[in-house]
Amino acid sequence: MDHKETLDSLLHEMRVFRPLPQMLIDAGVNPQDLRAARELADIDLCAYWEEAAEELDWFTKWDKVCDSSDAPHFRWFTGARCNIVYNALDRHIETVNKNRLALIWEGEPGDSRQYTYYELYRAVNRFANGLKRLGVTKGDRVVLYMPQLPETVISMLACARIGAVHSLVFSGFSARLLRERLCEIKPRVVITADGFYRNGQVIRLKEEVDRALLSTPDGIAESVVVVHRANVEVEMDSARDCWYADLVRHERPHAPAEIMAADDPLFILHTSGTTGKPKGMVHSHGGYMVGVHRTFKWVFDLKPTDIFWCSADPGWITGHSYLVYGPLLAGTTTVMYEGHSLYPQADRMWNIVSKYGVTIFYTSPTQIRTLMRFGHRYPDQHDLSTLRILGAVGEPFNPEAWLWLYEIIGKGQCPVLDTWWQTETGMIMISPMPVSVLKPGSVTRPLPGVDADVVDSEGNPVPAGKGGFLVIRKPWPAMFSDVLGDRAEVMDHYWNRIPGMFYAGDVARKDEDGYFWIQGRADDVLNISGHRIGTAEVESALASHPHVAEAVVVGVPDKIKGQVAKGYVTLKHGVERTDDLHRELKEHIRRELGPIVVVRAIEFCDDLPKTSSGKILRTALKE
Ligand code: WT7
């Protein structure tokens, strides 16, 4: 989509779900509060975020909430001093939270470890001292090439505590990609594990680090710290490598939290890059902390008895913001699972929910579609009655999968929150709250303090029902504070595509109620006979057929229509791939979307190509 045009929208989801009366009574933020917060943020954005910042501890308060003098390079809480880890740990051990569980971890083989806030505090301090002993100081970078282990959380916090900048590289990436990241980030230390368990296999990790470091320039990774997890034999280079356990054995469990400027870097994380090259985003201590804390507590309506489980890998922004920092800032219990969701069988997730009494489950549409293929037999075998809120992020949530989560997992009692945000935004931006009226497939409305809209390429709002570019007009505290590489070029990409607004790269529409519907990435828009259509709508229509588990649609060139759609489909368990079904699916699309969308071909597949974070690689299918 390039011109001053809008998108067509063909799919009309009419179902509406109202919050249960008890939810309205119990919610920490009720509809009136929400309205008041929106009004305050509309009138005085800084006042809204200042109030959110007051809920946290600062060594020194700010001179200015948001400094726009160098826009679009906005600086939040200038002059303030803080440390996010002080707020995630030290603050809690002065209260009843001291003895509360901070982290429940379950390994794939079924082993489990738990840390109270006090225990986590001690573990973080000891490792912080260990890192210092390796020469890590404020401003140094540390790469974490780690699976889902308690030590991953401890390492992130230990780095941040001493002012080092952590950068996670997803443990599913190969040595080649790790090497690329190491060359770009130039860390002083790399932290990894010998290996980990995944789908019944042991994945060797340290080996990949050795391979990646074989050919890197000098000065990268003076030390490698190795967590002992999977009992695999590894080669240790005595000049460079040490075991995590050896490093912390004699360290004291006390280490002061470094006093950081609010916009000092906290971490670097690359975008997942379904299109284009991944960009290294930098997030900082102050603004990120305020944005994540507020959105975590509000969106998930946190209660003192909650057990929060985010199934994302810590290697992605979701893991950073809502598996580690959000829950710990709020003093809640966070659950982490090492392994595969179908191991040893398709009820593993439900088993974890019932075993620990998970109350809030935050996952991805991909994950739900995967589990949905197995029907309700597995969920039925477990007690899921502790659940009270369900959420998802990452891609368009098609109504069929949304409804499955709502009905089969939530038993019609738990709101399903479809949350829209990005690595760049750091925090949830557009999302319902538990008291919102829900429409399956819609991310509903921007949170207070988020000025999102749908516009054409010149920045004019498009009318209700028409699609356009998703933009954010005003800054928000958890926005990336810097980037790796050519800052001017990256800033230009985000802020000058549509001058003066943050360009998110997604296409969306707003309905008559002001509800947002994400239609897909702007690069993936189909153009069929001049009609511009988001891929998400066609995919959602395909997936609404009872035999389809998951669908991807790409545009393929057509002499007459410019483009036509091609669908790739995985079927539910036990469904046969027949010519009849093929015909029926084409017919189904026609019924759902009308005659505009011409589907040239539908291919049945076992699996769809996805990025390691579960996003569909449309480019791979196009080729
Ligand atoms: C892109 C950002 C934020 C953590 C996960 C991904 C897509 C995200 C939704 C949603 C439709 C969504 C967008 C966005 N996306 N949430 N609720 N509905 N699409 O972070 O890897 O930075 O990807 O994910 O396309 O731009 P990310």
Please tell me whether residues 172 and 207 are part of one structural domain: yes
Comparing C-alpha atoms, which of 132, 133, 184 is closest to residue 159?
A: 132
- Please tell me the total count of domains within the chain: 3
**473 located within any domain:** no
Task: Round to whole Å and give the CA distance between 478 and 481.
Answer: 8
Would you state the pLDDT for residue 387?
A: 98
* Ligand 1 pocket member 613 (CB < 6 A): yes
Q: What is the Å distance from ligand 1's center to 441 Cα? A: 14
Q: What is the Å distance from ligand 1's center to 521 Cα? A: 9
Task: For residue 207, count CB atoms less than 10 angstroms from its CB and return exposed for 0-12, middle for 13-18, buried for 19 or more.
Answer: middle
Please tell me whether residues 334 and 373 are part of one structural domain: yes
Q: What is the CATH number of the domain that holds 35?
A: 3.40.50.12780
* Ligand 1 pocket member 229 (CB < 6 A): no
Please tell me whether residues 375 and 293 are part of one structural domain: yes
Mapped onto helix, strand or coil, the DSSP state of residue 402 is helix
Please tell me whether residues 68 and 42 are part of one structural domain: yes
Question: CA–CA distance from 365 to each of 146, 297, 402, 492, 549 (Å)?
Answer: 24, 22, 8, 31, 11
Please tell me whether residues 159 and 199 are part of one structural domain: yes
Please tell me whether residues 290 and 222 are part of one structural domain: no
Q: Name the residue with the closest Cα to ligand 1, atom 2.
A: 422
At residue 1, does pLDDT exceed 50? no
* Ligand 1 pocket member 210 (CB < 6 A): no
Ligand 1 atom with minimal separation from the 397 CA: 18
At residue 404, does pLDDT exceed 80? yes
Token output for 362: 């935050």
Q: Name the residue with the closest Cα to ligand 1, atom 21.
A: 272
Please tell me whether residues 143 and 216 are part of one structural domain: yes
Token output for 570: 């995985």
Comparing C-alpha atoms, which of 505, 443, 501 is closest to residue 472?
A: 501
**Bond before 344 cis per omega within 30 degrees:** yes
Amino acid found at 395: E
* Mean pLDDT, residues 462-491 taken together: 95
**98 located within any domain:** no
Q: What is the Å distance from ligand 1's center to 278 Cα? A: 14
Would you state the pLDDT for residue 390?
A: 98
In this structure, are residues 170 and 315 in contact, taking their beta carbons and an 8 Å threshold? yes
Task: Round to whole Å and give the CA distance between 126 and 252.
Answer: 6
Please tell me whether residues 488 and 589 are part of one structural domain: no
Name the pLDDT band for 610 (thresholds 50, 70, 90): confident
**101 located within any domain:** no
Give the distance, in angstroms, between the CA of residue 402 and the centroid of all CA atoms in the same chain. 18
* Mean pLDDT, residues 350-368 taken together: 97
**16 located within any domain:** no
**4 located within any domain:** no
DSSP string for 82-115:
E-HHIIIIITGGGSGGGGSEEEEEE-TTS-EEEE
Question: CA–CA distance from 29 to each of 25, 32, 185, 434, 589 (Å)?
Answer: 10, 8, 41, 9, 40
Angle at 225 between CA 272 and CA 315, to 5 degrees: 15
* Ligand 1 pocket member 395 (CB < 6 A): yes
Q: What is the Å distance from ligand 1's center to 440 Cα? A: 17
Q: What is the Å distance from ligand 1's center to 421 Cα? A: 5
Would you state the pLDDT for residue 247?
A: 98
**93 located within any domain:** no
Burial 302-335 (b: 16+ CB within 10 A, else e): beeebbbbbbbbbbbbbbbbbbbbbbbbbbbbbb
In this structure, are residues 8 and 282 in contact, taking their beta carbons and an 8 Å threshold? no
Token output for 283: 């997030």
Q: What is the pLDDT of residues 195-243, one digit of tens each?
A: 999 999 999 999 999 999 997 888 899 999 999 999 999 999 999 999 9
Residue at which a domain ends, from 242, 260, 278: 260
Would you state the pLDDT for residue 274?
A: 61
Q: Is the pTM of this model over 0.75?
A: yes
Please tell me whether residues 422 and 548 are part of one structural domain: no
- Lowest mean pLDDT across 341-345, 390-394, 571-575: 571-575
Task: Round to whole Å and give the CA distance between 319 and 334.
Answer: 11
DSSP string for 201-222:
EEEE-HHHHHHHHHTSPTTS-S
Q: What is the Å distance from ligand 1's center to 69 Cα? A: 29
* Ligand 1 pocket member 393 (CB < 6 A): yes
In this structure, are residues 501 and 471 in contact, taking their beta carbons and an 8 Å threshold? yes
Task: Round to whole Å and give the CA distance between 409 and 415.
Answer: 11
Please tell me whether residues 273 and 413 are part of one structural domain: yes
Please tell me whether residues 244 and 273 are part of one structural domain: no
Q: Name the residue with the closest Cα to ligand 1, atom 24.
A: 394
* Mean pLDDT, residues 272-289 taken together: 86
* Ligand 1 pocket member 168 (CB < 6 A): no
Q: Find which of 154-158, 273-277, 557-561 is predicted with most confidence, using mean pLDDT.
A: 154-158
At residue 479, does pLDDT exceed 90? yes
Comparing C-alpha atoms, which of 280, 315, 277 is closest to residue 173?
A: 315
Question: CA–CA distance from 492 to each of 486, 499, 504 (Å)?
Answer: 10, 9, 12
Would you state the pLDDT for residue 512?
A: 95
Q: What is the pLDDT of residues 238-272, one digit of tens each?
A: 999 999 999 999 999 999 999 999 999 999 999 87
Q: What is the Å distance from ligand 1's center to 79 Cα? A: 32
* Mean pLDDT, residues 445-465 taken together: 96
Question: Which residue range(s) make up the domain with 561?
Answer: 524-622
Q: What is the CATH number of the domain that holds 144?
A: 3.40.50.980
Task: Round to whole Å and give the CA distance between 443 and 532.
Answer: 21
Q: What is the CATH number of the domain that holds 558?
A: 3.30.300.30
Residue at which a domain ends, from 260, 285, 304: 260
**223 located within any domain:** yes
Please tell me whether residues 216 and 324 are part of one structural domain: no
**115 located within any domain:** no
Residue with tokens 């003098």: 69
As a dihedral over the C-alpha atoms of residue 447, residue 449, residue 455, residue 460, rounded to 10 degrees, the angle is: 150
The mean pLDDT value of the chain amounts to 94
Would you state the pLDDT for residue 273?
A: 65
Burial 239-277 (b: 16+ CB within 10 A, else e): eebbebeebbeebebebebbebbbbbbbbbbbbbebeee
Q: What is the pLDDT of residues 142-181, one digit of tens each?
A: 999 999 999 999 999 999 999 999 999 999 888 989 999 9
Task: Round to whole Å and give the CA distance between 146 and 326.
Answer: 20
Residue at which a domain ends, from 222, 244, 260: 260
Q: How many CB atoms lie within 10 A of CB 544?
A: 19
